[in-house]
Structure 1
Amino acid sequence: VRAVPAGQLATVARWAEERRAPLHVHLSEQTAENDACLETHGCTPTRLLADHGVLGPRTTGVHNTHLTDEDIALLGGSTTGTCMCPTTERDLADGIGPAVALQRAGSPLSLGSDSHAVIDLLEEARAMELNERLRTRTRGHWTAAALLRAASADGHAALGWDDAGILEAGALADFTTIALDSVRTAGPVPRLGAETAVFAATAADVRHTVVGGRHV
């Protein structure tokens, strides 16, 4: 919204649609972004994107931190994705985005780092749940399995790779393995592996990374 003139938003959206390409846009990360958009265009960044045909299932709003109820309805109703980046939002003191409300409205959630300071998708997954606990004083907004999907398969889908993020014949073999015997992860029974990975492991516990079937 800050980088592309309003008159060119529809052009970008058409370009992505014609090529069946994903479209990502930083959206309402900070209140100053919203204030500038309201002053210039008389509407929120989400409404501006909606009016120019940018929203839709191939589009992902990155951050989606400071949204109105109408914004949430527009994003969810168009099945526009949301990529939450909790560690950079925390680092920059941006705030906590309405992830639960967005998901309930119909916006698919994924996770990203958006940061050179912390590149750890396990921390992002953990932070999304813990942020909601702080906000609501209630636990259990997402299961560990749902958080892992947001950090893996759902992130792949947001990038337009429908054949990745799953382990089955014919799909891209992209995966990592996580040690369950480190000083952070040892102890829980194997059936709690997902919970251990999300709530105890860090990037330091990644043992193997395989991309396209090739160990890297």
Structure 2
Amino acid sequence: MCAEDASHSMAGKRSSQDLPADLLAALFGEPSSKRVRPLSRVASLASLITPVKGVNVRRFGQNLQRSISLRADGPGPASAAKPYSKQSVPPTPRHRLSRLWSDTYKAGVHHELSRTEIKRQEAIFELAQGEHDLIDDLKLAKKAYHDPMLKLNIMSKEELNEIFGALESLIPLHEALLSQLHKARLPDGTTESIGQILVDWPRTSSVLA
């Protein structure tokens, strides 16, 4: 009996060795990843993969490694989602109209001006436009800077006078000059003379004193 059992066990061992690898894996519960593939099958699979012509293998490997590292690092701080914040509306820039005297001049049928007279009229008109822009700037400085700092007690009136000077006195001074220049302009847009206006206009030295 013992000899027969031993012979049966030896036969069982020999028969188990003769079984295919797939059947052994199914019987003993081994994972399929541990199956031994014949070398002939691996060689046949390798023969199916043909090398790609004209491709730099080293460059391909570097690009692949770079792409993998970028994915591993994740998105940078610039691409991270930012918390919602109310966007401030940018202030509207101040546009000044650039006009020439010739744009406002109403020429008559028989009225022609010389080149010298046209240049003189352009100079007078430019003086009036400059006064207009200066008044706007002075009013803006008073409204946006001078008055808020005085109202909020950020600076005293004496300190503001050192910075802005006689700002409140300059505005009516230039407004008076601009008004006289407009009065001297004729209906057709020309101005005969402004000499007397400039003489009668009060000097800034007496105003600032």
Pick the TM interval, shorter chain: under 0.3
Q: Which entry has the higher C-alpha Rg, 1 or 2? A: 2
More helix by share: 2
TM-score normalised by structure 1 residue count: 0.19
More strand by share: 1
